[in-house]
Copies of this chain bind each other. A is one copy, B any other.
Amino acid sequence: MKWCRFQVGEQTAYGLVEGETVTAVVGSPFEGYTVTPTTYPLSAVKLRVPVIPPTFYAAGINYRQHLIEVARQRGEEPRFPTQADVGYRANNALIATDEPIIIPRDASDEVQYEGELVVVIGKKCRRVSEAEALDYVLGYTIGNDVSERTWQRTDRTLWRAKNTDTFKPMGPWIVTGLDPAELHVRIILNGREVFRYAVADAIFSVQHYISRMSQYLTLYPGDVLWMGTDGASENLKDGDVIEIAIDGIGVLRNPVVREQ
């Protein structure tokens, strides 16, 4: 199933996408729903962020090549994480597919994409094993963890480096029934594929993260876990279009605008 959150006029609702058609539902995939007879052409609705998470988790550093690249840029030796410690991102920064990433006036030129698989929790879970972990997942979507690298180096926290308004594109929708270990992420800048990696190359798997997190905390329906990115990133500039594609899910596409 392909779950979207969409807007028509002033109304926002959850919907099921089949081909080029959206069928509106009453309710949500998290609390239960009823399918309505109302359908729209996909091209006639505005897609919204597919879920507003109660808590917005991010693995952060979870791929070796990305870590090596970040360390190189800082002139440091890479240090690989020895345990799956999760970080946080913030809801203010979320935007939907097709909405613009806005680079603030005082940001440096080092504003970069990070294409990621996003796990969407479907059921409350606490102290689950790795073998059980995926049973608590509703499905998967796509995230772009846009980052301002100078702020990332200088500030005490990642607040504006990672969470400036519009810096967290997520979408276009949530797809159920996938095996995350089978997925590949492609990053496409202005129509050119700049990087491709296998989700399975992660240092810590989706199952491992969920199981470990759940030993200390309760995961709730709608919580999201961004799995981190691999490889080096390039700078985004005014007029660019950045796409993150995962076969089996779709394409998260955002234009880039620098504030004048």
Which residue numbers of A lie inside 8 Å of B, CB to CB? 52, 54-55, 60-61, 81, 83, 85-88, 90-93, 104, 126, 155-157, 159-160, 163-165, 213, 216-220
CA separation between A86 and B83, bound complex, in Å?
A: 25
Contact indicator A159/B87 (Cβ below 8 Å) = yes
CB <8 Å contact, A60 and B157: yes
* Interfacial chain B residues near A165, Cβ < 8 Å: 126, 216-218
Cα A157 to Cα B58 with chains together (Å): 11
A-B contact pairs, 29 of them (CB 8 A): A54-B92, A55-B90, A55-B91, A60-B157, A81-B156, A83-B155, A85-B156, A85-B157, A85-B160, A86-B159, A87-B156, A87-B159, A88-B90, A88-B157, A88-B159, A91-B220, A92-B217, A92-B218, A93-B217, A126-B165, A159-B213, A159-B216, A159-B217, A160-B217, A163-B217, A164-B216, A164-B217, A165-B216, A165-B217
A155: chain B residues within 8 A (beta carbon): 83, 85
Chain B residues contacting A104 (CB-CB under 8 Å) are: 216
Expressed in whole angstroms, the Cα–Cα distance for A85 and B159 within the complex equals 7
CB distance from A99 to the nearest CB of B (A): 14
Chain B proximity of A233: nearest CB distance (Å): 20
Specify the chain B residue showing the minimal Cβ separation from A160. B216
Q: What residues of chain B lie closer than 8 Å to A92, measured between beta carbons?
A: 54-55, 217-220
Most buried by B among A86, A92, A155, A163: A92
Q: Which residues of B contact A126 (CB under 8 A)?
A: 165
Q: Which of B87, B164, B220 contacts A157 (CB 8 A)?
A: B87
- A86 to B90, alpha carbons, bound, how many Å? 11
Task: Please indicate the chain B residues that have their CB under 8 angstroms from the CB of A93 in the complex.
Answer: 217
The CA-CA distance from A62 to B25 in the complex, in Å, is 47
Bound complex: CA of A104 vs CA of B214, how far in Å? Answer: 12
State how many angstroms separate the Cβ of A223 from the closest Cβ of chain B.
8
Nearest CB of B to A150, in Å: 13
Q: Is the CB of B157 within 8 A of A86?
A: yes
Point out the residues of chain B lying under 8 angstroms from A213, CB to CB. 159
Q: How far is the CA of A93 from the CA of B223 in the complex (A)?
A: 14
Q: Which residues of B contact A157 (CB under 8 A)?
A: 60, 85-88
A156 and B61 within 8 A (CB): yes
A81: nearest chain-B partner, CB-CB: B156
